[in-house]
């Protein structure tokens, strides 16, 4: 059996089409594939595990669940719903990190309390907390990362090389500016770019404060064992600390929360 995964989120298809940081995971149960770190150059420990919080989310779940997989580049053109990341398992293609995790739990976790290290049997209260926390990771923190990477020129000048550096020069000159205009327009249409910079930062800091309060003294967001929501929160926090576009003092604010830093560093050391 095979399983693949690529890059997702709230980006328009035109932009996604040319983002080269997508990841695919192939899963092989009977014949273990090499670990992702053996087949993908992730850079040093000073960088985020992936520039996509959603790729990080799904990859971390796979690692915590001890499912053998291989990460490969994906193509948004052929991806269902033009959404990445996705998993490919046999003949099944499942886009969207949250739906992919649901599929993996239903497929490999039937009648189980755990998959590898990750606890998948949750109480109703834990399930409700997980839904709300997952939604938080898709809101102001993620929107701030997008705004920084696509709108802020100082960050864009770095990011465009990471996203589009492998494209032939004519494509970079002709297509990349229109992709950026599309993203800038999308963020304005979404309403996020209409906030003042002060308000955008306030919204993001508020979410960081809430995450720190909910985590408290626990190593994970549902207690002493990792559950699926930890993968979602890790993806966004790792990008806030280590990813390109961690600007506007957000990295510094996360680093004032010792429990959030310990959460991120503990996962990086154990699973990456």
Q: Where are the domains of the chain?
A: 13-122, 140-271
Task: Specify the fold of 13-122.
Answer: Glutaredoxin (3.40.30)
For residue 90, pLDDT beyond 80: yes
Cα 3 to Cα 67: distance, rounded to the nearest angstrom? 10
* Measured torsion, CA atoms of residues 144, 149, 154, 157, in degrees rounded to the nearest 10: 180
The per-residue pLDDT for 25 is: 52
Name the average pLDDT for the chain. Answer: 84
DSSP label at residue 27: E
The mean pLDDT value for 74-84 works out to 74
- At the second CATH level, the architecture of 140-271 is Up-down Bundle (1.20)
**Which range (82-86, 108-112, 235-239, 255-259) has the least confidence?**
82-86
Task: Give strand ranges (E) for the chain.
Answer: 24-27, 69-72, 86-89, 92-95, 114-115, 118-119
The per-residue pLDDT for 74 is: 72
Q: What does 25-75 look like in DSSP terms, one character per residue? A: EEE-SSSPPPPHHHHS----TTS-S-S-HHHHHHHHHHHHTT--EEEE---
For residue 21, pLDDT beyond 70: no
Work out the percent of the chain whose per-residue pLDDT is above 90.
62
Using one digit for the tens of pLDDT, what is the confidence trace for 23-52? 445 554 333 333 332 223 333 445 788 888
For residue 256, pLDDT beyond 80: yes
- CB-CB contact of 178 with 12 (8 Å): no
The mean pLDDT value for 106-134 works out to 97
The per-residue pLDDT for 46 is: 54
Cα 254 to Cα 176: distance, rounded to the nearest angstrom? 32
The per-residue pLDDT for 215 is: 98
For residue 205, pLDDT beyond 90: yes
The per-residue pLDDT for 254 is: 97
- What is the pTM assigned to this prediction? 0.84
The mean pLDDT value for 250-269 works out to 97
Bridge partners, residue 118, by sequence: 115
């Amino acid at each position: 059996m095979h399983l693949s995964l690529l890059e997702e989120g709230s980006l328009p298809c035109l932009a996604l089409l040319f983002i080269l940081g997508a990841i695919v995971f192939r899963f092989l149960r009977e014949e273990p594939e090499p670990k992702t770190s053996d087949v993908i150059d992730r850079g040093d420990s000073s960088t985020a595990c992936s520039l996509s919080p959603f790729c990080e989310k799904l990859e971390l779940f796979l690692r915590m669940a001890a499912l053998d997989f291989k990460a490969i580049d994906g193509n948004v053109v052929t991806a269902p719903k033009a959404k990445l990341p996705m998993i490919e398992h046999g003949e099944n293609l499942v886009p969207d990190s949250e739906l992919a995790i649901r599929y993996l739990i239903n497929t490999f976790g039937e009648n189980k309390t755990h998959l590898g290290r990750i606890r998948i049997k949750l109480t109703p209260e834990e399930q409700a907390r997980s839904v709300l926390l997952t939604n938080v990771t898709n809101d102001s923190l993620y929107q701030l990362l997008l705004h920084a990477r696509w709108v802020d020129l100082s960050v864009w000048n770095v990011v465009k090389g990471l996203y589009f550096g492998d494209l032939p020069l004519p494509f970079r000159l002709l297509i990349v500016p229109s992709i950026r205009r599309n993203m800038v327009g999308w963020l304005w249409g979404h309403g996020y770019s209409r906030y003042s910079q002060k308000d955008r930062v306030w919204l993001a800091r508020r979410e960081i404060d809430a995450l720190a309060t909910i985590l408290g003294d626990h190593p994970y967001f549902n207690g002493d064992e990792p559950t699926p929501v930890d993968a979602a929160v890790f993806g966004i926090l790792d990008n806030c600390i280590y990813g390109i576009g961690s600007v506007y003092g957000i990295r510094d604010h996360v680093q004032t929360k010792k429990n959030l830093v310990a959460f991120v560093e503990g996962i990086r050391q154990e699973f990456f």
